[in-house]
Amino acid sequence: MPPEDPAVRAEAVLSAFERHANPGQARVFRFMGLVNFEAEAHGAWVRDVAGQEYLDCASGYGVMGPGYGHPAVVAAVQEQLTKQAMSSRVLLSEPTARLAERLAGLAPGDLEYCFFCNSGAEAVEGALKFARVTTGRPGFVAALGAFHGKTFGALSVSGRDVYRRPFEPLLPGVTHVPFGDAAALDRAVGPGTAAVILEPIQGEGGVILPPDGYLAAAREICDRAGALLILDEVQTGMGRTGRLFACEHWGVVPDLMCLAKALGGGVMPIGAVVGTERAFSFFAAAPLLHTSTFGGNPLACAAALATLEVMEREDLPGQAARKGARLLGRLADLAARYPRTVREVRGKGLMIGLEMTREGAGGALMASLLARRVLAVHTLNNERVIRVMPPLVITDAELDRATAAFTDALAEVDAVVEEL
Ligand code: PLP
């Protein structure tokens, strides 16, 4: 049989997706001219079926810490695959226990126990349940603009109406307060609060950094009220912000920390709740009170173990800090050149957001970058902010290339910004 023409194959794939998966999203792909599906990816590059290469500054929403297909992570998964992919669930699995031990060793303070699951939202669900069972209290305090995932519990503590309203009623007893306002947090936390849940830096909210002292104040407020502090490091964790965990920038240790995304090194999906002895003590009496069939499976744990090794060996947090400072400086120079178009550039490490002066400018910048073969995408809870989150292994030459694309794309958008 002759090989299928890539263009024919591309149209067949898009129309299959349109007819049987998500017609609305397929329309967006067509509108953006993204008619070719991704076929291969290595390091910081994604190649589509037509052979077009894109420099990825989105990293699958922060998944590709060590880059696409890091050889050490792939090798670890391949080796595990030949031995045992999934667990019997009756016998103990070595990679699960080894990963728990390793993560407990790396996590700050007295975070010593791990529960493994398969995604960020699931990690948040687990943390919310652990907080309730530990404190015997029903309530949660979360931040406006927060994003914690789209399952019911995670959505209930997320802070954007457009995703919440169609699914109401959500979990009762959730109060939202402005992110960064310690006095508002203090007023909202009370004797019925099981936990405060915060992202150390809001990701989908538009890369919002906390004022210095905010996370420490949150810790103190929780301690005073007998509530737990949950830090959602699903996006900020695993070196992205220049430290292995973002809470380390402010020296704050939560009771429960949620991880996912880059924990699997961009090769396997895995999530984790990492917590104190107290927050995990309910397992002593009821080991099956919270479970997941696939959570902690050998393949995902092998990927996470290899990822943690790569993080350390290649000092990916240090690389993120160094490269991020350079990129932030360059983007800030560009922002100063185009004040009509860019309101602000902010971030930490390689978690950077470009806030545009209007929503249309965000879309236009994305399209202009795409035309220059650079992938970047807006944040979910704030379409005016384009995130710049390349794999942490991106080289200096690739960063130069990304900066050049941003320079040209911003000039292009600025020329028409009044019409957007
Ligand atoms: N928490 C944070 C901070 C996130 O950024 C995300 C996803 O973007 C989630 C939770 C949900 O993760 P997942 O999409 O893996 O469920």
Mean pLDDT of the chain: 97
Residue 378's DSSP bridge partners are 386
**Contact call for residues 198 and 142 (beta carbons, < 8 A):** yes
Tally of structural domains, the chain: 2
Look at residue 186 in the predicted model and tell me its pLDDT.
98
What are residue 189's phi and psi, to 5 degrees? Answer: -85, 135
Look at residue 327 in the predicted model and tell me its pLDDT.
97
CATH code: domain of residue 412: 3.90.1150.10
For residue 57, what pLDDT band results from cuts at 50, 70 and 90? very high
Residues 300 and 340 reside in one and the same domain: no
Residue 21 within a domain = no
Distance of CA 148 from the midpoint of ligand 1 (Å): 5
Core vs surface per residue 112-127: b (16+ CB within 10 A) or e: bbbbbbbbbbbbbbbb
pLDDT digits (tens, 9 = 90+) for 308-360: 999 999 999 999 999 999 999 999 999 999 999 999 999 999 999 999 999 89
Residues 387 and 300 reside in one and the same domain: no
Residues 236 and 282 reside in one and the same domain: yes
Residues 161 and 278 reside in one and the same domain: yes
Look at residue 305 in the predicted model and tell me its pLDDT.
98
Residues 284 and 233 reside in one and the same domain: yes
Residues 396 and 323 reside in one and the same domain: yes
- Strands (E) across 292-381 are located at 342-348, 351-356, 374-375, 377-379
CATH code: domain of residue 77: 3.40.640.10
Residues 121 and 246 reside in one and the same domain: yes
Distance of CA 191 from the midpoint of ligand 1 (Å): 28
Look at residue 64 in the predicted model and tell me its pLDDT.
97
Among the candidates 283, 313, 343, a domain finishes at 313
Residue numbers annotated as active site: 147, 232, 261
Pocket test for ligand 1, best of 64, 119, 261, 377 (most atoms within 8 A of CB): 261
Residue 7 within a domain = no
Look at residue 4 in the predicted model and tell me its pLDDT.
82
Residues 306 and 401 reside in one and the same domain: no
- Strands (E) across 90-214 are located at 113-117, 139-143, 174-177, 193-198
Among the candidates 313, 345, 369, a domain finishes at 313
Distance of CA 392 from the midpoint of ligand 1 (Å): 19
Residues 189 and 273 reside in one and the same domain: yes
pLDDT at 174 over 60: yes
**Contact call for residues 385 and 204 (beta carbons, < 8 A):** no
Does the N-terminal peptide bond of residue 254 adopt cis geometry, omega within 30 degrees of 0? no
What's the domain range around 206? 71-313
pLDDT at 1 over 80: no
Query: Which atom of ligand 1 lies closest to the CA of 380?
Result: 8
Ligand 1: which residues within 6 Å by Cβ?
61, 119-121, 124, 147-149, 199, 203-204, 232, 234-235, 260
Residue 154 within a domain = yes
Residue 15 within a domain = no
Owner of token pair 């990492």: 274
Residue 271's DSSP bridge partners are 117
Residues 367 and 258 reside in one and the same domain: no
H or E segment at 42?
strand 38-42
Among the candidates 313, 339, 374, a domain finishes at 313
Distance of CA 339 from the midpoint of ligand 1 (Å): 31
For residue 145, what pLDDT band results from cuts at 50, 70 and 90? very high
pLDDT digits (tens, 9 = 90+) for 58-104: 999 999 999 999 999 999 999 999 999 999 999 999 999 999 999 99
Query: Which atom of ligand 1 lies closest to the CA of 233?
Result: 3
Residues 159 and 219 reside in one and the same domain: yes
H or E segment at 202?
none
What is the dihedral angle through the alpha carbons of 309, 400, 358, 383, rounded to the nearest 10 degrees?
Answer: -20
Query: Which atom of ligand 1 lies closest to the CA of 258?
Result: 1
**Contact call for residues 384 and 311 (beta carbons, < 8 A):** no
Pocket test for ligand 1, best of 63, 147, 157 (most atoms within 8 A of CB): 147
Pocket test for ligand 1, best of 118, 234, 256, 292 (most atoms within 8 A of CB): 234
Residue 31 within a domain = no
Residues 130 and 269 reside in one and the same domain: yes
Distance of CA 119 from the midpoint of ligand 1 (Å): 7
Query: Which atom of ligand 1 lies closest to the CA of 271?
Result: 15
Residue 13 within a domain = no
Supply the residue whose CA is at minimum distance from atom 5 of ligand 1.
Answer: 235
The structure's pTM equals: 0.98
Distance of CA 155 from the midpoint of ligand 1 (Å): 10
Helix (H), strand (E) counts: the chain: 15, 15
Distance CA(156)–CA(171), nearest Å, equals: 6
Contacting residues for 231 by C-beta, under 8 A, at least 6 apart? 197, 198, 199, 200, 215, 246, 247, 252, 254, 256, 257, 258
Residue 252 within a domain = yes
3-state SS class at 73: helix
Query: Which atom of ligand 1 lies closest to the CA of 154?
Result: 10
